[in-house]
Amino acid sequence: MNIAVYPGSFDPVTLGHLNVIRRSASVFDTLIVCVMVNSEKNPLFTAEERVELIKRTVERFENVRVEKSEALLVDFMKDRGAKVIIKGMRAVSDYEREFQIALVNRKLDPTIETFLMPSSEKYTYLSSSVVREMARYGADLEAFVPVEIMDDVLRRVNSLEK
């Protein structure tokens, strides 16, 4: 069984993330979307909330699971029998960092491969940071986040503004 892991903070999950999930799910037997805890970020949603938001957006994909992890990614993967890391690439600027991380992961576990998946061109501008900023200004989020979580994002941003 081919198991891949798509790690990220997903705060919140965007249509760009969902595009990578859909495309990856069509290639692998199982795709695990792994909400990672990033100590460098100040998240809008807790890791548990992000897992629930993503689960609502991926219900239609039978072979996609959503989990969270505070462990080293290669350890998380080893525990699940996964051999492929999926990373979405929006721009050339993403490449340097992701390439460096891929080399570190390969050094930690030479059996793990990283697949760098170019973003669909209509999502190259899109990031969770952009979504949070647009939500703060009350922009229509239809072009940014899955409809299943749009209200959650707006409610959270509005509650922080008060």
pLDDT digits (tens, 9 = 90+) for 78-126: 999 999 999 999 887 788 889 999 999 999 999 999 999 998 889 888 8
Query: What is the average pLDDT across 24-51?
Result: 92
Sign for the CA dihedral angle at 126, 130, 132, 133 comes to negative
Burial (CB < 10 A; 0-12, 13-18, 19+), residue 111, is exposed
User: What pLDDT was estimated at residue 1?
Assistant: 78
CA 22 to chain centre: 12
Residue from 49, 46, 45, 17 nearest 33 by CA: 17
Look at the block and give the residue holding tokens 């799910």: 25
Residues 103 and 114: their CA atoms lie apart, in Å, by 9
In the chain, the amino acid numbered 104 is: V
Count of positions (residues) in the chain? 162
Q: What global pTM score does this model have?
A: 0.94
Residue 120 per-residue DSSP state: P
Query: Catalytic amino acids?
Result: 17, 41, 90, 128
Sign for the CA dihedral angle at 143, 20, 10, 114 comes to negative
Pick one of 3.60.15.10, 3.30.830.10, 3.40.50.620, 1.10.540.10 as the CATH number of 3-161. Answer: 3.40.50.620
User: What pLDDT was estimated at residue 162?
Assistant: 59
Residues 79 and 100: their CA atoms lie apart, in Å, by 23
Choose the weakest-confidence range: 57-61, 136-140, 143-147.
136-140
